[in-house]
A and B are shown apart, each in its own frame.
Chain A
Amino acid sequence: MTIKLRAVLPDRDLLHLYEQMVLSREFEESCAEQYTKGHITGFLHLYSGQEAVAAGATHALHKDDYILSAYREHIQAIVRGADPKRVMAELFGKATGICKGKGGSMHLFDPEISFMGGYAIVGGQFPIACGLAFSVKYRNEDRIAACFFGDGAVNQGTFHESLNWARLWELPVLFICENNFYGIGTEVHRSSALASIHKRTCGYDIPSEKVDGMDVIAIYQAVKYAAEKVREQSRPFLVEAMTYRFRGHSMADPGKYRSAAEVELWKARDPIVTFAARLLEEGVATEDQLDCLKAKARFIVKEAVEFAEQSPWPDDSEVTTDIYVGIQEVCPWR
């Protein structure tokens, strides 16, 4: 039984979620195109297929809750409020990028929107999320830390160390697993003795919930509930969202380890298409309205690409700044 949309959120919010998801898809597909053209280089991990998780979860959090993620994080930054222009410029390696072109696709960061980073060592963000949550608790702030990660990260020591730590110190951390079933090319059952990731928290006395990651409303509800628990009790919670990436692990991956039938099965559950159908069916939006939001998203992404193209490269002097506070040179003696 599917819950009625309007029973969960007002029309404005429902349309906002749709708008965020179409913007996400447009942005990522445009990144793929820019990569093929050679404008974006290095690693590029795209989020297409997983949009419901970032959109639904972020909408359920407070604006100043900390968010951390891994290296497939463009969309988590954008739905949190990062300017798509500055994200695209970062991917182009330009001076106007969100991190001055020094981080690139995998290392977006903007403390002004409490987006505390994309981390590219699998599992590296877990203890950092705990530390931010400690600072919140220490200063008695009304915030939590939401830590996104993939199914591949749960076999790192930091996952287990951080679950134990967060429960022991009673830290307000919400762990959000985006289980897209593959760590690069290794299917979750081939890497995890217990592939049902949410069950792993029982060893640390942490509550958890599994949710359909292709359903933006289900995610929103699950994260809203979990975030409230975390906030009220100052204790961790884990949400496992079952999702799927429509593209390979990165642009370098043709994805031959997955059957065409499997990919098609999941594409039939495209979170944007299914949500659009529900919006229309329940009379929340008309076809024209949805088309209009799509056109708006395309325009925003087009502007972002133009901005990135026209932006200057970083000045050579930037190569030795931002290492230390107070001194500019890499080696003060040299």
Chain B
Amino acid sequence: MAVMTYRDALNQALKEEMRRDPSVVIWGEDVALYEGSFKVTRGLLSEFGEERVKDTPISENTIIGVAIGAAMGGLRPVAELMTVNFALLAMDQIVNHMTKIRYMFGGKTHLSIVIRAPGGGGSQLAAQHSQSLETLFMHVPGMYIAVPATPADAKGLLKSAIRDDNPVMFLEHELLYNSKGEVPEDPNFLVPLGSCEVKREGKDVSIIAYSRMTVLSIQAADELEKEGVSCEVVDMRSLSPLDMETILTSVRKTGKVVVVEECWRTCGLGAEIASRINEGCFDSLLTPVRRVSGLNVPMPYSRKLEKLCIPQVENIINAVKEVIKERY
């Protein structure tokens, strides 16, 4: 084990997989010479050269389309979108092409693509650079979605994503890049796609979260512990495939659920989780599933206003206290 940042864990995953497999190639805006807007690709150009680490024009749709073609030709491209907001410029290649090609071509090809995209709010980047778009991708069949919360998961999931034969949307959180944690150094350490992890055991309430919301949920659980409330934090880690069994097992144990999502509440993934819990273990529920969500507004710039739009630790604490109080 070594203690390292989420950024360095991702960087290590990229380096290890590029050393392991010459078919792994990387491109995106400013990923090579500039070493990435968030410096996740630091040192890659000097180690692997410009045939494998490539700067691209600001053409997001084509960044993904070229990755699709290269994957069809047998390579394993890792395409970086500078931020997830720019994925909206590439939605034609992502949704109309990448997620459809295997199916509409009768299974005659597969696309080993990883799209890395930093996102999330909290850096005062205002409406166009602060979105949490995970639900948009989750709605579409044909791709996997990884949402790591810790450095270890960031590394293990990225390595699994690069080795997987399916397209993977790999959503990194901009506010987690500097967070630190223990990371296994074994180059064969992998975290499987499609497995939730109970990050903190508890018996009174299940908090279901992902990415930075998992980190906040653990903080909330620590605070609540002091008040005698025992929370179990289930980190989704992948939104697709979604390991509902781990979630349902936790819900069967506690009977009370808070889902924490950074995305907008309307049709957000929390609604989907609540619905699947209803379908899967309604009998175990002691109270309705509660959601803590991003506010349904475009993100404001001002620090004071921005804070109102993103779930905070106290919002999670309050939601847990309310479900604890509820009696049905």
Contacts and interface: CB of A to CB of B under 8 A. Distances in A.
Partners in one complex: yes
A182 B204 CA distance: 66
B217 to A, nearest CB: 22
B256 interface: no
Contacts of B317: none
Interface in A148-180: 157-158, 161-162, 164-165, 168-169
Interface in A87-102: 97-102
Contact of A332 (B51, B54, B241): B241
Contact of B165 (A98, A135, A139, A325): A325
B250 to A, nearest CB: 14
A18 interface: no
A327 B142 CA distance: 11
B70 A135 contact: yes
Nearest to B112: A325
Contacts of A134: 66, 69-70, 73, 75
Given A99-B108, A131-B67, 20 more contacts: A97-B106, A102-B103, A107-B104, A124-B92, A127-B66, A127-B93, A128-B97, A129-B69, A130-B65, A131-B71, A161-B59, A161-B61, A164-B59, A165-B57, A169-B54, A322-B102, A322-B107, A324-B241, A332-B241, A333-B280
A321 interface: yes
Interface string A89-124: 000000001111111000101110000110101001
Interface string A127-144: 111111111101100000
A330 B240 CA distance: 11
A100 B107 contact: yes
B65 A128 contact: yes
24 contacts: A99-B105, A102-B105, A103-B106, A109-B109, A124-B93, A124-B96, A124-B97, A126-B65, A127-B62, A128-B65, A129-B69, A130-B66, A134-B70, A135-B72, A135-B73, A157-B61, A161-B62, A165-B56, A165-B62, A168-B57, A323-B103, A327-B241, A333-B241, A333-B244
B142 A128 contact: no
Given A131-B68, A131-B72, A323 B108 contact: no
A267 B245 CA distance: 64
Contact of A131 (B65, B164, B166): B65
Interface string A196-208: 0000000000000
Contacts of B73: 66, 131-132, 134-136, 139
A66 B74 CA distance: 13
Counting contact residues on chain A (CB < 8 A from B), the size range is 35 or more
Contacts of B194: 332
Contacts of A109: 104-106, 108-109
A103 B70 contact: no
Nearest to B143: A324
B203 interface: no
A124 B106 contact: no
Contacts of A169: 54
B141 interface: yes
Contacts, number: 150
A326 interface: yes
Contacts of B144: 324
Given A128-B69, A322-B106, A158 B244 contact: no
A132 B69 contact: yes
A131 B102 contact: no
A206 B284 CA distance: 66
A102 B106 contact: yes
A327 B110 CA distance: 13
A315 to B, nearest CB: 13
Contacts of B71: 131
A135 B69 contact: yes
B101 interface: yes
A111 B109 contact: yes
B303 interface: no
Nearest to B52: A138
B242 interface: yes
Contacts of B259: none
Nearest to A133: B69
Among B51, B72, B92, B144, chain A packs the most CB atoms within 10 A around the CB of B72
A157 B58 CA distance: 12
Contacts of B62: 126-127, 130, 158, 161-162, 165
B321 interface: no
A325 B110 contact: yes
A119 B105 contact: no
Nearest to B248: A333
Contacts of B101: 117
Nearest to B77: A131
Given A99-B106, A134-B66, A324 B166 contact: yes
B276 interface: yes
B45 to A, nearest CB: 15
B158 interface: no
A103 B100 CA distance: 10
Nearest to A137: B51
A117 B276 contact: no
A126 B102 CA distance: 18
Contacts of B310: none
A135 B106 contact: no
Contacts of B77: 131
Contacts of A116: 69, 72
Contact of B105 (A117, A161, A168): A117
Nearest to A90: B106
A109 B276 CA distance: 36
Interface string B184-218: 00000000001000000000000000000000000
B25 interface: yes
Contacts of B93: 124, 127
Given A132-B70, A135-B73, A325-B166, A158 B104 contact: no
B56 A333 contact: no
A88 to B, nearest CB: 15
A222 to B, nearest CB: 24
Contacts of A98: 106
